[in-house]
Amino acid sequence: MAPGAPVALVLGGTGYLGRAICAGLRDEGHRVVALARRGGPVPAGCAVVTADLSAATAPELLRLLTRSRPSLVVNATGALWEVTDSAMERANTEVVRRLVGALGAVPGPRPRLVHLGTVYEYGAPADGREAIDEDTPERPTTPYGRTKLAGTRLVTAAVAAGRVDGCVLRLSTVIGRHAPRSSLFGMLAARLREGSGVLRVPQLDGHRDLVDLRDVVDAVVAAARTRDRTPVLNIAGGRPVPLDGAVDALIRISGMPVVRESEPRATPRRDAGDSRPIGVGSALRVLDWVPRRSTHDSLTALWESSNEVPSQL
């Protein structure tokens, strides 16, 4: 990459979303630096800086931003699976508080912030709407939704006050290459790869909005370009998908001969949310973005990568 190319700093850049975002920004001409708590695979041509964001203070983040001088910061950090509620609060809210404080203190031109939120921040709104759009009142029902909403509000308040140039992309359930085993479909793909002949599936209710990882990357790239001041944009597939049907589709794509069995109902999932359609009209208007990949495309990409170790992209 040319030395004069703009620098993009991707927080959580070695994670599931972060790696793909790093590759997309690299392909757009950025010099990409992935910031992560521990080293990990990143796309070819991207650098890695290790830092524990949950422990870093705002002054430490400011020094990091001043040294790297990014024109773009993407916050792809967050915690959902296999963590305590207090760890979730640190990752989803406190890290954002410190990041927003540091960005507001950067001397000279301030980098643009693209913060990744979640549609689970809406929770189960009781306003009678047929679809969820950005004006829907938020009523999160889980610690994940509440802590992510707190992070979103920190960003939007700083943008409204003129301290930060940025926006929040509220993502629905993201499916694509190298989905983590802790996620529902990543777990099911891994179980299918085991080839035991039996696929144990958690009890699934209703529908969810599923969006392709590649569509998410396209949205991040578009949000990095725009200077529109719309604070929050939904990034989603735009239609609810029956979860049982998506599981059956993954089984067909795998070609594995399995007997499907239901697991006993466990505790409620931490990503439990509403099954209504997620409106993406604002993203079309502001970013000229629409979801382009189907659920079948997403599940195929997931399956094809499910026996790979994430490495060079």
How far apart are alpha carbons 143 and 140 in whole angstroms?
8
Closest-CA residue to 136 (of 201, 232, 44): 232
Q: What is the CATH number of the domain that holds 142?
A: 3.40.50.720
Question: Would residue 302 count as lying in a domain?
Answer: no
Residue 114 β-bridge partners: 74, 167
Residue 26 lies in a domain: yes
Backbone angles phi, psi at 236, to 5 degrees: -155, 170
Tokens standing for residue 174: 């993201």
Task: Indicate if the alpha-carbon torsion angle 157, 158, 160, 165 is positive or negative.
Answer: negative
Residues of the chain with pLDDT under 70: 1-3, 81-82, 125-129, 265-274, 309-313
Distance CA 78, CA 96 (A): 9
CA 87 to each of CA 37, 123, 151, 285: distance values in angstroms, whole numbers, following the listed order: 14, 20, 14, 36
Give me the pLDDT at residue 111, please.
95
What is the structure's pLDDT at 266?
59
Is residue 278 within 8 Å of 131, Cβ to Cβ? yes
Name the pTM for this structure: 0.93
Structural domain tally of the chain?
1
Phi, psi of 45 (to 5 degrees): 90, -5
Residue 40 lies in a domain: yes
Q: Is the dihedral of CA 69, 104, 225, 151 positive or negative?
A: positive
For residue 149, being part of any structural domain is answered with yes
DSSP-assigned letter for residue 291: -
**Domain extent at residue 23:** 7-175+210-237+273-292
Catalytic site residues? Answer: 144
In a domain, 191, yes or no: no
Q: Which of 210, 311, 189 has its CA nearest to residue 258?
A: 189
239, 238, 241, 240: which is closest to 289 by C-alpha? 238
Q: Do residues 115 and 54 lie in contact, with contact meaning Cβ atoms separated by under 8 Å?
A: no
pLDDT at 3: 66
Tell me the residue type at 25: L
Query: Can you give 45-73 as a three-state secondary structure string?
Result: CCEEEECCCCCCCHHHHHHHHHHHCCCEE
Q: Is residue 105 part of a domain?
A: yes
Q: Positive or negative CA dihedral for 277, 89, 163, 18?
A: negative
Give the per-residue pLDDT at 127: 61
Residue 201 lies in a domain: no
**If we measure between CA atoms, which residue out of 187, 204, 269, 273 comes closest to residue 236?**
273
- Which pairing describes strands 259-262 and 240-242: parallel, antiparallel, or unpaired? unpaired
**Considering the domain boundaries, does residue 220 fall inside one?**
yes
pLDDT at 273 (0 to 100): 56
